[in-house]
């Protein structure tokens, strides 16, 4: 995970050695940061939710909304790394067991946030039935 910085340092050292050094520092290229563990885990949750969706707009919007909320609550509520790792590697059958590892406060916060985030998605999906 933190190897990108070490790799950048190694690449810079090799560059300087090959060029014989320089009195001016070599221009550096930006190093892409790896996503936070919460964001990577939430992306995995989205992928699980999209399995079998076959491009269904409602499922896609719901998965995106849930992923966004899970990433946010994970970061804001400082989820334990063991929970993040569990969720990041879980399959659809294991996700619930991972969420059970959250503290009661964390579970409530994510449940409330998901419900709030899903309201507009559900309302939009129900519009055709309201006519």
| pLDDT score for 96 | 94
Q: How far apart are the first and last CA of the chain?
A: 52
- In the DSSP assignment, the letter for residue 23 is S
Write down the pTM of the prediction.
0.68
Query: On the CB side of 28, how many CA atoms lie within 13 Å of its CA?
Result: 11
Q: Is the pLDDT of residue 15 over 50?
A: no
With H, G, I as helix, E, B as strand and everything else as coil, classify residue 102.
coil
Q: In the chain, where are the structural domains located?
A: 1-34, 37-130
Evaluate whether 49 touches 63 at the Cβ level (below 8 Å).
yes
Q: Is the pLDDT of residue 13 over 50?
A: no
User: What pLDDT, in 10s, does the model give residues 111-127?
Assistant: 999 999 988 878 777 76
């Amino acid at each position: 995970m933190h190897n990108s910085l070490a790799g950048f340092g190694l690449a810079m050292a090799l560059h300087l050695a090959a060029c014989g050094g320089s009195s001016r520092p070599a221009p550096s290229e930006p190093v892409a940061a790896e996503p936070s563990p919460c964001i990577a885990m939430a992306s995995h949750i989205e992928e699980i939710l999209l399995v079998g969706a076959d491009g269904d707009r409602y499922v896609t919007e719901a998965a995106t909304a849930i992923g966004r909320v899970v990433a946010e609550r994970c970061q804001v509520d400082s989820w334990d790394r063991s929970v993040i790792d569990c969720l990041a590697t879980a399959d659809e059958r294991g996700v619930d067991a991972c969420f059970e590892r959250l503290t009661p406060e964390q579970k409530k916060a994510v449940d409330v946030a998901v419900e709030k985030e899903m309201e507009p998605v559900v309302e939009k999906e129900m519009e055709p039935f309201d006519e």
